[in-house]
Chains A and B, each alone.
Chain A
Amino acid sequence: MNARSDRLPDAALRPARRAFLASAAGGLGQIALGSLLGGCAAGPGASVAGAAPSGPHFAPRARRVLVLFQSEGVSHIDLFDDKPSLHAHAGKELPPSVRGSQRVTGMTSGQGSFPVVPPLLPGKRCGQSGLWISDLMPHLQAAADELCVVKSMHTEAINHDPAITLLNTGNQLPGYASMGAWASYGLGAENADLPAFVAMVSQGSGKNPGQPIFSRLWGSGFLPSSHQGVGLRPGADPVLYLRDPDGVARDQRRAQLDDLQALDARHAEDVQDPEIAARLAAYELAFRMQTSVPELADLRGESEATLAMYGSDVRRPGSYAANCLMARRLLERGVRFVQLYHRGWDQHIALARQLPNQCRDVDQATAAVLKDLRQRGLLDDTLVVFATEFGRTAYSQGALGDPSSGRDHHGRCFTMWLAGGGVRGGFEHGATDDFCYNVASEPVHVRDLHATILHCLGVDHERLVFPFRGLDTKLTGVEPARVVRAILA
């Protein structure tokens, strides 16, 4: 075969080609992983559509974000938003004037009675700020002065799929990019050798299995897929496909990559394709990741004191506590956006049995990650968001007092809190009515939260856009969204 015979004479072009390859590759091995994985404008990985905007629009208050996403709807009433009137009306019918005529889910729309249920356990006013937090969260009570509690969150969505999708991607329908993907697209990676966006999933103890979650929650939607969250998993394969196959040693792999580079670099001279250089760089980064990621995921270097702070669950790989500690390790290495997804908050039934378990999962580790970040000087420029897709009803789902009773979904008002970079600690924003049923003041929509998170990162949500299907698409969507300035420090 003489396939090469009708090529251009190599010798004539070679010097120019070599120069070209060197410049395209930036010198093999020097290209940052972040530029390939997280995408940044200058990297060769940005040969995909839609190069990222460069850097923040103004001075950021937070350089990193940790989202502790509590999936399926945390009960704001039981944990954060107690009211005397709930106790006064315990067991009595929720006044129809409060309930109004808005829609409820198919799970309770047929109920004949809507009796008010006060919080499961008492709580207390905590810290200097006096924020009320349930006794179900004793560790969080001790961290109250770090928290910026927004009690007036609201969403139109009343079922998990659309509500979770809205909270995570800015739209109730699939097809949009997740918060972390936007951060990756807008700001790129801070640590060149780690992805800009890492996602971790844990099971809850309240209800297992919880409602399903979806890869679209950490997906890149219409953004280039290099911005999708990289899943970090417990066990021997922290990132899928990370381990060399059994029977292949590290030095063999090294030699194999050297061979690959020799073959492809020579071919690149023939075909003058800059993608080849970029791809070889990606292989080098993959090789480095095979060492750096297991090191990152190895908790053995953590002190006993640190482990104790997160609680015994931290020793269970894949637990919420272990993921919180992993999040701190990622954040301190400069990962831009870390998100945890913890399932099991869907207490339609058996609230009294399930909610304490669910709180036990998250209480100590959540407080610990705040404290850990604070101790290491990271909380000042790390924004922590304790997020959920909606709250739960003040009234009982199921007969009052039945051990199987619980609370239905409630999007008209719910509670989230933020902490750290850019927000006021020990602060409470917005309020609900006497029955924690409607927003009474300072409503904050999910898209306002998105605008605020981006603002803390130094990004104007109106200007972080990606052209798609004829529209300059934004995380905050097409409806007006505003930064909640009152909560900014």
Chain B
Amino acid sequence: MPRSFRRSSRRWLAVPVALAAAATAPAQSGTVDFPRDVRPILAAHCYACHGPDAGARKADLRLDRREDALAARDGGAAIVPGDPAASALWQRVAATDPEEVMPPPDAHKPLAPEQKERLRLWIAAGAPYAAHWAFVPPVAAPVPSLPAADAPTPIDAFVRAPLRAQGLAWNGEADRATLLRRLSLDLTGLPPSADEVAAFVADAAPDAYERAVDRLLASPHCAERLALPWLDASRYADTNGFSIDGGRHMWLWRDWVIAAFAANKPFDRFLVEQLAGDLLPDADDATRTATGFQRNAMITHEGGTIAEENLVTYGVDRTKTFGEAVLGLTVGCAQCHDHKYDPISQREYFGLFAFFNQTSEPAHGGDGGHNAPPTLDVGTALPTGEEDALRARIAALQAQLAAPARDVVDAWVAEQRLRLAARGKGLALHRCAPTTISTPNTGSGFRIADAQYAAVDRPMSALAFDVAMELPATSSPITGLRVVMHADPSKPAEGWGWGGGKDGKRTFALTCLSVSVGTVRSDQVNLYGLTPIARVTASSWQESNDGRDRPEGALDTPAGSGWMPDIAAEGPVHLTATFAEPLPPDARHLTAQLHFGRWGELTARRMEFFAVSGNDDGTDLPPAILALVQYDGPLPDAERQQLAAYVARHAPALELLRVALKNAEERLAVRTQKFAAMVMDTAQQPRPTHVLHRGAYDQPREPVAAGVPAALPPLPAGVAADRLALARWAVDPAHPLTARVAVNRFWQMLFGAGLVRTPADFGTQGELPTHPELLDRLAVDFVRHGWDVRRLLRQIVTSATYRQSAVVDLASRARDPDNRLLARGPRHRLPAELVRDHALAVSGLLVRQLGGPSVNPYTPGDPWREISHFGSSPATAQAFVQDHGEKLWRRSLYTYWKRTLPPPNMALFDAPNREVCVVDRAATNTPLQALVLLNDVTFVEAGRAFAERIVQRAADDDARLRWAFCEATSRAPAGEDLAVLRRALHRERARYAGDPTAAARLLAHGEAPRTTAIAPAEHAAWTQVATLLLNLNDAVTKP
């Protein structure tokens, strides 16, 4: 075992000296402690030139190892133990001549007088070195002895012994309501209900708290809460990240993570399966799915990129993530040169890199929404037991849709008749002269023909054409746009398009039509000002194919649906879009983007455009249905059923049912079928790894075998150096880092900051632990008890330290603003996901489904398309498509994460973009966050739904307000609070009673159905009160 791994009986090598008291000096015991007092100075000010990095080393002097620092050099030594005056280090540090002084002025790292003094005292005391604490395996120190009342648990003894020694007090226990709220948010990420709070406060049993802990730890939502930080560390996302950032499918891995936490899988096994689940002797589908951890790395399919460069980039990310997420080391620093601060040479870096450089993963992959290989078809690893209920629900929904109520059918028919009666009224067509046509990926093969047509002269795959045209002057407002598709007049038999079709007649699929207008010409459709289209009809379409070829398929962005005419139709075919509002009179120019996105030459040949005034004369009813709608008199049964079936598929009144059925069917498929998961494997011919000069892929130097840094324990002898060996090495009980890093992360989740406050850097540049013995004790205990996460969490949350009140007076806070002494309880802003989850839970909207593919809840507009490659690529996730029904209210860890544009309402609350490993989110406080909570439809709808719960909860206002306040904050309102709320309620009631339109508008936010049992003005008034409650500081704070 390397020297640095020998257990030292004197871990904190202390030299008694008389040190001048300094406000910033951590030394409080009058000793200079090398790891605590000296190494940080050497590391920050000296190691860059005199540290582990051989390449950057100046004057051939190395100060990070004692033997080098003491070595004889011409005329002396850098350090002469016990004799500062004879030590070159001290002479240079103390020098005033800018030519002499160290660090040199141009390094911008001058030493403070107090730091210099510490170095002098340390040399005077013999310049003792000690191994960096984090590279020495933890030893469980004896629990300091304190009276049991002061320290009910060992954690408390470690926290409170130093407080007592300094004569400092600690805080009392938080009130019970606060405790339950803290505990619930910490362990499940969801607030307790007012009823749960009341029950807990009333529970006088001595084990009430412990039972609450057990209940919350057993909740399936605990697994979701624990998964959240691990998704950050693992840079989990739903898109590939680089360049075009197309969609991928990694949710099976996320399901695995949740399942692992739900089953309390031992944390060492949790890591091993993710690092090497494919290599385990008992490997199965689940352990292989776990290796998706490493496939979360960003990839690209951009054709111009260089294969070798991409592969190095992927490996670099895996190595860095392994270092930061598992080892708590910034190994990535050693990619280009030896680590400047920690004992990791560049060669050792590539030894680690080599473990991850042996897969068959291609350099380019992930286009078209297909997972890049290697993949594995597997089912979800997360049991939920909901399948039978799902099947029953599907059957019930199908039955409901199979027999739509007679009044629904009648209402729909009446609506159609009204529409048919208005059909074609005042219709006039005005030809538009196209001025330009363009398409992103080719410069020829398309043109404006005869100043009348936009013509495509040859087959092209999946292209968007932008056609600019002048709008003719019309006497009545322009209400729509008609696109007429012609065959080539010289070859009419070849059809309107360039692909598909039948018997030599070719066709097209118009998958997305977008329009913008303006006072000036625009060659490209203006994505910031798209003209909303209310509806669309066509002269002909294919009704078969599940309705995917109907005209309305041209109104959405996905290429799966799009307008395709019936191939048997004769002559030109046309589609008419009716705008939501007539065009403004000053609109002179129109640009249409026609996206033929099915990737099979399904483009049109010859397009002609007409501005429409008056009413569209088309219908979206197939001829047979049209006849039934127009039929006067009772329909025979068969026809009635035919009509009902059509209504079931298309009536807006049944949309919620259809969405519910579709979601349920998809959910059942997710629960029972297999999907492709991205996994790790070992290539038949693993790539050789070389040291890359300056980290550059094209500058390989000597070959390197997989191996671990010498400063850490060695791999066991006789074991193949593969990922499994690396994984087992990392979780070996003798490993100094992994368990400490893990317990520190869980501590961080609960306290807002770890015992080591640089959770990804346990190296010499990282912060020292605030409570080293506690960290070590917890780590040793964690390993000794089988890496039992639930046990660890229970230990922490049942400590008096955790249960302390967070409330302290000014003086105490000023003494320890960051709560490093842990003399008070934790209090901090909730992570982004939990801010949204909190609102969903309080409002009652939350859908408590576990796992499954990611969902797209409300987002303003289509921010993806504004920055993406939509129109030029078969990659998915190029345009945002909002989901509906239950998918709008899932927990936020299931929200689709597009790396180049993560959900804005969470990014504003410091959620990372998941491009790289993140283990320490910031918690900022900005006006933009206020705007999210006040104005985002997510939160407005939550207010509306919460209002419903409030009104239905009790009969009188005060009871409602009391309950609502407690439901939202877990505390009872004070008298002054109630007064404010009452006043607000009365004010808003008056307001909405006098303005029913405003009430209706407010209540129209969101897609959750609204009860009709509450009068709109009353509902709107309570919505405002609910919104107020959901904006309280409590809504974003763990107390």
Are A286 and B931 in contact, with the CB atoms below 8 A? yes
Q: CB within 8 Å of A: which of B174-233?
A: 175-178, 194, 197-198, 201
Q: Is the CB of B529 within 8 A of A234?
A: yes
A-contact bits for B129-146, CB 8 A (1 contact / 0 none): 000000000000000000
* B residues 855-899 touching A (CB-CB < 8 Å): 860, 866-872, 899
B747-776 near A? 1/0 per residue, CB < 8 Å: 000000000001011011110000000000
- B1024 touching A224, Cβ below 8 Å: no
Are B998 and A247 in contact (CB-based, < 8 A)?
A: yes
Contact mask for chain B residues 801-820; partner A; CB cutoff 8 A; 1 contact, 0 none: 00000111110010000000
Query: Cβ of A105: which chain B residues have Cβ within 8 Å of it?
Result: 304-306
Q: A262 to B922, Cβ gap below 8 A?
A: no
Decide if A125 is an interface residue (CB 8 Å cutoff). Answer: no
Given the interface pairs A318-B526, A469-B761, the reply to whether A286 lies near B928 with Cβ below 8 Å is yes
Shortest CB distance B588–A (Å): 11
Q: Which of A224-273 contact B (CB under 8 A)?
A: 224-226, 228, 230, 233-235, 237, 239-249, 252-253, 255-256, 259-260, 262-264, 266-268, 270-273
Q: Would A175 and B916 count as touching, CB distance under 8 A?
A: yes
Q: Which B residues are in CB contact (< 8 Å) with A249?
A: 991, 998
Instruction: Please tell me if the beta carbons of A273 and B1024 are within 8 angstroms of each other in the complex.
Output: no
Q: Which of B298, B904, B981, B1031 contacts A240 (CB 8 A)?
A: B904
- Asked if residues B984 and A2 are in contact (CB atoms below 8 Å), the reply is no
Interface pair B761/A260, CB less than 8 Å apart = no
Q: Which A residues lie within 8 Å of B869 (CB)?
A: 209, 211-212
Shortest beta-carbon distance, A250 to chain B, in Å?
12
Chain B residues, CB < 8 A from A230: 928
**Contact A318/B529 with A241-B932, A259-B984, A469-B333 known, Cβ cut-off 8 Å:** yes
Chain A residue numbers with a CB within 8 Å of B325 are none
| Residues of chain B in range 1000-1028 having any CB-CB distance to chain A below 8 Å | 1000-1005, 1020, 1024, 1027-1028
- A263 in contact with B980 given A244-B935, A470-B763 (CB within 8 Å): yes
A9-68 residues with Cβ-Cβ distance < 8 A to B are: 13, 16, 20, 33, 36-37, 44-45, 47-49
Contact of B1032 among A36, A209, A267, A471 (CB under 8 A): A267
Contacting pair B931 A208 (CB below 8 A):
no
Asked if A267 contacts B519 (CB within 8 A), the reply is no
- CB neighbours of B928 from chain A (8 A): 37, 230, 239-241, 286
Is there an interface contact between B922 and A225, defined as CB atoms closer than 8 Å? yes
Asked if A178 is at the interface (CB within 8 A of a chain B CB), the reply is: no
Per the bound structure, the CA–CA distance linking A403 and B439 in Å amounts to: 13
| Contact-size category for B | 35 or more
Instruction: List B contacts of A113 (CB < 8 A).
Output: none
Q: Is B117 an interface residue (CB 8 A)?
A: no
**Residues of A contacting B931 in the complex (Cβ-Cβ under 8 angstroms):** 239-242, 286, 289-290
Distance in Å: Cβ of A290 to nearest Cβ of chain B: 8
**Does any Cβ of A come within 8 Å of B367's Cβ?**
no
Q: Which residues of A contact B1034 (CB under 8 A)?
A: 267
Question: Is B402 an interface residue when CB atoms closer than 8 A count as contact?
Answer: no
Closest to A350 in B: B443
Stretch of B242-250, B683-691, B845-853 at the chain-chain interface:
B242-250
Decide if A215 touches B905 in the complex (CB within 8 Å): no
Contact B443 A272 (CB under 8 A): no
Contacts of B522 in A (CB 8 A): 205, 313, 316, 319
Contact with B466, one of A160, A208, A403 (Cβ below 8 angstroms) = A208
Contact digits for A115-129, partner B, Cβ 8 Å, 1 yes 0 no: 000000000000000
Taking the complex as formed, is A478 at the interface, i.e. its CB lies under 8 A from any CB of chain B? yes
Binds B, one of A76-84, A140-148, A351-359: A351-359
Residue of A nearest to B466 (CB): A208
Q: Are the CB atoms of B518 and A316 closer together than 8 Å?
A: yes
Contacts of B765 in A (CB 8 A): 470-471
Write out the residue numbers on chain B whose beta carbons fall within 8 Å of the beta carbon of A45: 924-926
Instruction: Tell me which of B201, B526, B905 contacts A3 (CB under 8 A).
Output: B201
Q: Determine the distance from Cα of A243 to Cα of B1037 in the docked complex, in whole angstroms.
A: 25
A272 touches B809 (CB 8 A): yes
Interface residues of B in 83-138 (CB under 8 A from A): 106, 108
Please tell me if B698 contacts chain A, counting CB pairs below 8 Å: yes
A462 located at the interface, meaning its Cβ lies under 8 Å from any Cβ of chain B in the complex: yes
Asked if residues B922 and A241 are in contact (CB atoms below 8 Å), the reply is no
| A398 to B, closest residue via Cβ | B443
Say yes or no: B529 contacts A174, CB within 8 Å. Answer: no
The yes or no answer to B929 lying at the interface (CB within 8 A) is yes
- CB distance B807 to A3 under 8 Å? no
Pick from A277-285, A325-333, A443-451 the stretch touching chain B: A277-285
Decide if B940 is an interface residue (CB 8 Å cutoff).
Answer: yes
- In the complex the two chains form, is B998's CB within 8 Å of A283's CB? no
How many angstroms between the C-alpha atoms of A278 and B923 in the bound complex?
A: 13
With A1-B201, A103-B698, A471-B765 already in contact, the answer to whether A282 and B528 are too (CB < 8 A) is no
Selected contact of B528 from candidates A235, A263, A272, CB within 8 Å: A235
Q: Which residues of B contact A158 (CB under 8 A)?
A: 304, 306
Residues of B within 8 A of A87 (CB): none
Chain B residues, CB < 8 A from A469: 324, 330, 332-333, 758, 760-761
Contact in complex: B972, A242 (CB < 8 Å): no
Enumerate B475-523 residues with CB–CB distance to A below 8 Å: 518-523
Tell me if A107 and B303 are in contact (CB < 8 A).
yes
- Shortest Cβ distance from residue A193 to the other chain B in the assembled complex, whole angstroms: 10
Q: How far is the CA of A2 from the CA of B930 in the complex (A)?
A: 31
Residue contact B926 to A349, C-beta cutoff 8 Å: no
Contact check, A259 vs B1028: say whether CB atoms are below 8 A apart.
Answer: yes
Which residues from chain B contact A8 at a C-beta distance below 8 Å?
Answer: 807
Chain B residues near A3 (CB-CB < 8 A): 175-178, 197, 201, 970-972
Check: B273 CB closer than 8 A to any chain A CB. Answer: no
Q: How far is the CA of A290 from the CA of B928 in the complex (A)?
A: 10
B901 touching A203, Cβ below 8 Å: no
B443 near A246 (CB under 8 angstroms)?
no
Contacts A214-B867, A215-B913; A357 near B523 (Cβ below 8 A): yes
Asked whether B809 lies within 8 Å of A13 as measured between CB atoms, the reply is yes
A208-B915 in contact (CB<8A): no
**B1020 A47 Cβ-Cβ under 8 A:** no
The distance from the CB of B630 to the nearest CB of chain A, in whole angstroms, is 38
**Which residues does chain B contribute within 8 Å of A214, judged by CB atoms?**
245, 867, 899-901
Known contacts A208-B524, A212-B243, A242-B935; is-contact A263 B977 (Cβ 8 Å)? yes
CB 8 Å contact bits of A451-489 with B (1 = contact, 0 = none): 000000000101100000111000000100000000000
Asked if B442 is an interface residue, CB under 8 A from chain A, the answer is: yes
Q: Are B524 and A470 neighbours in the complex by a CB distance under 8 Å? A: no
In the complex, per-residue mask of B433-471: 1 if CB is within 8 Å of any chain A CB, else 0: 000001011111000000000000000000010100000
CB of A302 closer than 8 Å to a CB of B = no
The reply on A409 being an interface residue by CB < 8 A is yes
CB of B704 within 8 A of chain A? no
In the assembled complex, A98 has its CB within 8 A of some CB on chain B:
no
Q: B966 an interface residue at 8 Å Cβ cutoff?
A: yes
Nearest Cβ on chain B to A45's Cβ, whole angstroms: 6
B448–chain A nearest beta-carbon distance, Å: 13
| Binary CB contact string for chain B from 974 to 1004 against chain A (1 if under 8 A, 0 otherwise) | 1011001101100110010000011111111
Residue of B nearest to A193 (CB): B927
Cβ of A438 under 8 Å from chain B? no
1/0 per position for B147-190, CB-CB distance to A under 8 A?
A: 00000000000000000000000000001111000000000000
Q: Does B829 contact A (CB under 8 A)?
A: yes
- Residues A159 and B871 in contact in the complex (CB < 8 Å), given A6-B176, A240-B860, A354-B443: no
12 sample A-B contacts, Cβ–Cβ < 8 Å, listed by A number: A1-B194, A3-B972, A4-B971, A159-B306, A215-B900, A242-B935, A245-B934, A263-B981, A283-B927, A354-B443, A404-B442, A469-B330
Kindly list the 9 A-B residue pairs having the minimum CB-CB distance in the complex, ordered from nearest.
A350-B443, A247-B1002, A470-B765, A318-B528, A247-B1001, A3-B177, A286-B927, A174-B915, A286-B930
Known: A241-B934, A471-B765. 19 other contacts (CB 8 A): A3-B971, A6-B176, A105-B306, A159-B304, A161-B300, A175-B915, A212-B867, A214-B900, A226-B924, A235-B528, A240-B931, A246-B1001, A247-B997, A272-B813, A273-B1037, A274-B813, A317-B526, A349-B442, A350-B444
